[in-house]
Structure 1
Amino acid sequence: MQERTKCLIIGTCAGAANGFFGAGGGLFLVPLFTAWLGLEQKQAFATSVAVIFPLSAVSVLIYLRNGSIPLSFSAPYLLGGAIGGLCSGLLFSRVSVPLLRKAFALLLVWGGIRAVFLW
């Protein structure tokens, strides 16, 4: 399969997950970046963040247009999200790949359990 086709498939999966669920693009991006495109694990995580930002911006615009976002409720989370993103971005280079993999796996398992049993 051509690399351009792989990129289109990966981006489509990430965009659909982001649009439907409000997050989750990394679920597709990180594993496919490493398996299909041969990126190193840390490079895949970092690239995932770079891709998710514009995907989220597009989703926000569509949600705003449809009146689906309660801005008064969501705005206070922006400060915490910015602080978390800044801190994790600064610590990223110091975290080992095995620890990142385990943290990512635990996050996926936790999210899966919550989706199945707590909704």
Structure 2
Amino acid sequence: MIVKIVIGFIAGIISGLFASGGGLILVPAYVYIIKMSEEKARATSILSILPMVIISSIFYFKFDNIDWWLGLKCAIGGLVGGAIGAKLLKKISPKILKLMFIIFLAYSAIRLLFF
């Protein structure tokens, strides 16, 4: 129980600081520390991220850091993309999903380092 709370705490801090959504921390933690299947880890991380996003958004709002027009436009795309992504989770093999996630993480790391 404590390990799970600590994982959520760390993901919450990172989500609040970097607006990463916490999934970059939660999915690997669920898979390698909690020993959850990758499919279940991805789905569970979405549920876990929701409270982090809500509370972070409240603070970003208080500090007047939200571009509402841009956020709303992206949210519309996010609703559609999220539904498609959730459906694709069942159709793509775990090995391919893992490879896609690794490529995404590597790309993100390279962008952070060099751009």
- TM category (shorter chain) comes to over 0.9
- Give the alignment partner of residue 74 of structure 1, picking from 71, 74, 80: 71
Q: Does 1:43 align with 2:40?
A: yes
**Could you list the runs of 4 or more consecutive aligned residues of structure 1 that deviate by over 3 angstroms after TM superposition?**
none
1:59-70 equivalences under 5 Å are: 59-70=56-67
1:92-111 equivalences under 5 Å are: 92-111=89-108
CA distance in 2, matches of 1:98, 1:56: 29
Q: TM-score, normalised by structure 1?
A: 0.90
Structure 1 gaps, min length 5: none
Q: Once structures 1 and 2 are overlaid, which stretch shifts more, 101-110 or 18-27? A: 18-27
Q: Does 1:22 align with 2:58?
A: no
CA distance in 1, matches of 2:21, 2:111: 14
- In the TM superposition, what whole-angstrom CA distance separates every residue of 1:72-106 from its partner, at most 9, and x where no partner exists? 22211111111100111112111111011111111
| Sequence identity (%) | 30
CA distance in 1, matches of 2:6, 2:51: 17
RMSD, aligned CA? 1.1
Structure 2 partner of 1:33? 30
Question: Which protein has greater RCO, CA pairs closer than 8 Å, 6+ apart?
Answer: 2
Q: Is the 8 A contact 2:22 2:49 kept in 1?
A: yes
| Secondary structure of the structure 2 residue equivalent to 1:89 | helix
Q: Call closer, same or farther: CA 1:64–1:55 in 2, change over 3 Å.
A: same
Partner AA of 1:113 in structure 2: I
Partner AA of 1:35 in structure 2: Y
Q: TM-score, normalised by structure 2?
A: 0.93
